[in-house]
Structure 1
Amino acid sequence: VRLRPSGAYGEHNPKRHVGSNHQRYEEGDATWLFSTDMSLNAVLEERTVVLRGRVTFMLGADDPITESLAALASRFLDETRRYWSDWTRELAIPFEWQAAVIRAAITLKLCSFEDTGAVVAALTTSIPEAKNSGRNWDYRYCWLRDSYFTIQALNRLGATRTMEGYLHYITNVFTAARDAPLQPVYGISGEPQLTEIISSHLLGYRGMGPVRIGNQAFEQTQHDVYGAVILAAMQSFFDQRLAAPGDVTLFQRLEIAGERCWNLYDQPDAGIWEYRGRVRVHTFSSVMCWAGVDRLARIARHLSLPERESVWRQRASQMHGRILAACWDQQLGCFTEAWQAPAVDASVLLLAELNFVKAEDPKFVATVDYVGKHLRRGPYLFRYTAHDDFGAPENAFNICTFWYINALAAVGRRDEAREIFNNMLKRCNGLGLLSEDLDPATGELWGNYPQTYSMVGIINSATRLSCPWEDAL
């Protein structure tokens, strides 16, 4: 057994105080206690020991332990199992792939910070997207776009409390931002400054640095975030189960985001893929802005606010026409990644999901075909294939494969969608989890882990493809 805690991302070792069967670690204001019923000296000296029975290790807060360590660990395990059993029992899961959906839902719940309502994109930093690629990022923060997808997936299962917590978080972010533009990403307590630095003391995953702390994306302009905030709040106005449903006050806050959608939908930004070296008027950003305005019109109608409904509906109609004209490429025969740009990325697969076009629209059907021909490698999908700041992408992007699965199902290619989905489930590790990326040649997982995007994909595809309960029983 090796226990080697360090502080400040490997810069220095904490102070250690050894007791009879425990060791206390002090690092700044934090104190941690390691306790065991195994030989403490064997652990501290990292000696090989032949076990004669079960042993217990516990590393946690510096709280007194008033019962045997084995009994305490057993009680904690029982309480944990009981909690998650009770929580999952309330989920509205699909008939098929239940274990995968339950694991994904638990993972998304664990990626939410109960204290503030923030939802992190992943629990790790700097696991590279591909071997020795340098595409190493810190995902331990709350992306407003990613959070929308997480909220939407959990809502589909009936787990709406995460949405309620997130709305509290985003309200605080709005209030703190005042008139400043919304950032794409914030800290879990709403902190805006996420200055990106590189650790000089950590080698990185399998020696593949750099290890980044913080994320430069907080400085970027990504216009889709305004639509994402509105869409994340949408269900709160219509779900009668909620203790505090959306009201006129929340609607008026969301109208601030709606004004940004209206003013920015045709302006360049870094886009969903967070390009660091270019800006364009990205189709996904434009469509998310349209979706935000469209949903405000629906909410206004629900709240019996006809004047506000008229304003937002007229704006949505105008936006829809301009985006449709600018993002359809007649020569390619597909929707493109940006206005008047003859290239495609996987985000255009979401146009039907966002109700921008109907799934049966010939333009969307043609787009699904085009994406499959140009971004698919075996059963896996790349987000794009063009060179970016780090060269050409090497690995598939897991959430994009799920988007492709859902798009296939939407256009009537259901059997093909099920086949690819079952293959993706085989790529999960032994815990049923997925990271961000995948090597299409080997199936090896890469990127930060577990990735909320990818776990969202499991839930959304399973609920879309599963045989209905009433047909199965």
Structure 2
Amino acid sequence: MPLRIEDYALIGNCEGAALVGLDGSIDWMALPRFDSQACFAALLGTAENGRWLIAPAVPVTKVTRRYRDGTLVLETTFETAQGTVQLIDAMGRREGHGDVARLVRGLSGSVPMRIEGVLRPGYGTVVPWVSRLADGRVAAVAGPDRFVLDTPVELHGEDLRTVGTFTAEDGSETPFTLTWSPSFLPVPDKLDAAETIDLATRQWQRWIAQHREDTAGDWVGLVQRSLVTLKALTHYQTGGIVAAPTTSLPEQLGGPRNWDYRYCWLRDATLTLYALLTSGFLEEASAWRDWLTRAIAGSPDQMQIMYGIAGERRLEEYELPWLAGYEGSTPVRVGNAAAGQLQLDVYGEVLDAMYQARRLGLAPDDNGWHLERALVGHLETIWRQPDEGVWEMRGGRKHFTASKVMVWVAFDRAIRSVEEFGLDGPVARWRKTRDEVHAEVCAAGYNAERAHFTQCYGGTALDASLLIIAMVGFLPADDPRVARTVKAIEERLTEDGFVKRYDETANIDGLAGGHEGAFLPCSFWLADNYVLAGRLDEARALFERLVALSNDVGLLSEEYDSRVGRQVGNFPQAFTHVALINTAHNLSRGGGPAQHRAQN
């Protein structure tokens, strides 16, 4: 059975990723890309679906772990009655290869150790053909994939597993490397585990040195961990940032809300740009902006809410019935059918992202404004339609209030781009539409009897996406309607002080019943609303409670279930870490992202 979600830590090489458990087992790994078919899938099934364990062969009395400062190099220390041993994990990248380096160091005593490797490409189904190479390495081949394992430890096959034992003594070092490469190309050269780990350490520390620490206030360490996580989920060639490196980790333990997050969402664009630019990472922000422009290029009526890592559009969703699901949470899904939904808010996200890129000093993109004008022109023809909403509802299209607010943002940012940067556009017509959208939202999206904005036009239900109203400048934070909406969310959509997206028992998402955890990005948004309303002590207190939910190495998933005291949802979640960075910036200085976006 897999560990708790928060018992895992991420390693990666800005192309693929793996999750390492407190027990020394890699239970999820996808190479060469984040969205490749996992070769270790025990996280969503059992050990028979693939894992790589290196751990003491005797009872462990204590486990501690940490990342090397500013890196994604993981150090796990096991204490036993026989002594103490450290396992160091990192990933490297050679052109056309994906490398995993693991190094066992004996710190004291003499500790018996064991290794168990179960390679199962194809999401835990394919048993590869294993052979010994002339140089002593072990090769496992399955169709297009080849994995080469190298270690001085004597290994042997046992029940379709590769196993071995060794002893970690005081001062000893035992290396392990695993390299993916295409099976039809020559076998890759040998890899030195210690050198790979040292190189990864230097590269990560050189990258994080660009961070503008003055923007992070009292939370430099937390912000840097979030930035490293965001970088780890960024593809080094395309600039695309995946929402998470996992699929089907449940929003509801044992339930059906299990989605594939190994793709790039347009909704994340603006907040991600803010987080990167205000932290000093201009190159990454530019790459993300360029990815965004390439992905949405083409006919405006074909813009999607998400794309593949390189901008792929076809993300067909299907199920993997042979995987039992994380703690029985089924179905396990690959692909994401929400890519075909109509979500009007993404137009606002894209136009806001492009506007903020200009305002924050990114070099202009010559084709960008032509594309933006085309998108606004198309939005003029469709904005009155219902859509699936910010949360990708599968219960039918409605007039979601937050979607219409973001429609207003699209026209507002287009107008401001013309007025502030001298671009060309039909501003008078756009102003008329912007005013029409604003009036409609205030009339149809606000329930005077309930005294708050509602999830849908003419409805009564609340939705945490309404927290964006002040954040994007649709209305000021001190507007009574906004204040009452925030108060209603506090009273009816919080659980243990954290914010839920909506009332899932109402079956508005097409998945009846169950219990979803609090949505961590929305909880950070509530803190941002406190900042905008001048409630700084409350904002800081909520932020401190949220970051306290991080696991022992500073990682957060999508949601937190306070009923069981556990993180839930795909992990680690880029959107959550982006929200953490931006809220830290909002609290640390007078002109953070929330204040900038809210300015009219």
Residue in structure 2 matching 1:178, options 294, 299, 306: 299
Gaps of 5+ in 1: none
Q: Which gives a bigger RCO, structure 1 or 2 (Cα 8 Å, sep 6+)?
A: 1
User: Given the alignment of the two structures, is residue 369 of structure 1 paired with residue 487 of structure 2, yes or no?
Assistant: yes
Residues 78 and 459 of structure 1, relative CA distance in 2, 3 Å threshold: closer
Mean CA deviation greater in 101-110 or 351-360: 101-110
Residue number among 472, 483, 492 corresponding to 1:354 in the alignment: 472
Contact 1:282 1:339 in 2 (8 A): yes
Gaps of 5+ in 2: 1-114, 182-186, 592-600
The counterpart of 1:252, out of the listed 346, 359, 370, is 370
TM-score normalised by length of structure 1: 0.91
TM superposition shift of 1:42: 8.7
Range moving further from structure 2, 105-114 or 44-53 = 44-53
Matched, 1:461 2:583: yes
The equivalent position to 1:55 in structure 2, one of 162, 174, 179, is 174
Counterpart of 2:373 in 1: which secondary structure? helix
1:307–1:82: structure 2 CA closer, same or farther, 3 Å change rule?
closer
2:417 to 296, 299, 306: 299
Match of 1:195 in 2: 316
For 1:213, give the aligned amino acid: V
Task: Return the alpha-carbon distance in structure 2 between the equivalents of residues 468 and 314 of structure 1.
Answer: 33
State the alpha-carbon separation in 2 of the partners of residues 150 and 73 from structure 1: 30
Contact 1:198 1:212 in 2 (8 A): yes
SS of residue paired to 1:210: coil
Indicate yes or no: 2:516 matched with 1:394.
Answer: yes
Instruction: Give SS of 1:201's match.
Output: coil
- 2:323 is equivalent to residue 205 of structure 1: no
- Give the one of 57, 79, 88 matched to 2:202: 79
Change (3 A) 1:354 1:468: closer
The Cα shift of 1:78 comes to: 3.5
Q: Render the CA deviation track for 1:110-138: whole Å, top value 9, x for unaligned.
A: 22223222221111000111210111110
Matched residue pairs, number? Answer: 463
2:122 maps to 8
Aligned equivalents of 1:273 and 1:70: distance in 2? 43
- 2:271/2:582 contact within 8 Å kept: no
Cα contact 2:411–2:431 (8 A) shared by 1: yes
Contact persistence 1:251–1:299 (CA under 8 A): no
Q: Tell me which amino acid in the other structure corresponds to 2:517.
A: N
**Residue 140 of structure 2: which of 25, 45, 70 is its match?**
25
Distance 2:122 2:151 in 1: 26
**Counterpart position of 2:149:** 34
Q: Shift of residue 273 of structure 1?
A: 1.1
Aligned mates of 1:294, 1:216 — CA distance in 2: 30
Equivalence for 2:343: 222
The CA distance in 1 between the partners of 2:209 and 2:154, in whole Å, is 37
Aligned to 1:46: 163
Higher strand share: 2
Residues 385-414 of structure 1 deviation map (CA, whole Å, 9 limit, x = unaligned):
142222343311111111111112222322
Cα distance change of structure 1 residues 61 and 47 upon mapping to structure 2, 3 Å threshold: closer
Contact 1:138/1:215, CA 8 A, preserved across alignment: yes
Runs in 1 of length 4+ with deviation above 4 angstroms? 42-45, 62-67
Distance 1:253 1:467 in 2: 34
- Asked whether the equivalents of residues 222 and 270 of structure 1 are also in contact (C-alpha less than 8 Å), the reply is yes
Q: Aligned AA for 2:175?
A: T
Task: Give me the identity figure in percent.
Answer: 32
Distance in 2, matches of 1:443 and 1:418, equals 22
* Two-structure CA RMSD over aligned residues (Å): 2.3
Whether 1:320 and 2:438 are equivalent positions in the alignment is yes
Deviation at 1:156, TM superposition (A): 2.6
1:243-294 superposed Cα distances (whole Å, 9 cap, x missing partner): x3244x3212101111233333332111011111221111111111110110
Answer with 391-400 or 435-444: which moved more: 391-400
Amino acid at match of 2:163: E
Give yes or no for contact 1:163–1:232 (8 Å, CA) kept in 2: no
2:570 counterpart of 1:448: yes
TM-score by length of 2: 0.73
- In 2, the alpha carbon distance for the partners of 1:238 and 1:246 equals 13
Quote the Cα distance in structure 1 between the aligned partners of 2:225 and 2:517.
Answer: 24
- Range that drifts further, 293-302 or 309-318: 309-318
Counterpart Cα distance in 2 of 1:467 and 1:179: 38
1-side partners of 2:421 and 2:548: how far apart?
45
The 3-state SS of whatever aligns with 1:16 is strand
Structure 1 residues 160 and 323: alpha-carbon distance in aligned structure 2, compared to 1, 3 A threshold: farther
Preserved contact between residue 154 and residue 164 of structure 2 (Cα < 8 Å): no
The alpha carbon displacement at 1:92 in A equals 5.2
Kindly indicate whether the alpha-carbon contact (under 8 Å) linking 1:265 and 1:285 is maintained by their aligned counterparts in 2: no
**Using the alignment, how far apart are the partners of 2:393 and 2:360 within structure 1?**
37
CA 1:465–1:171: 2 relative to 1, 3 Å: closer
State the Cα distance separating 1:11 from its structure 2 match. Answer: 2.5
- Find the counterpart in structure 1 of residue 404 from structure 2: 286
Contact (CA 8 Å) 2:153, 2:165: kept in 1 or not?
no
Contact 1:145 1:184 in 2 (8 A): yes
Q: Deviations over 1:80-112 (max 9, x none)?
A: 343334343x56532211111111111112222
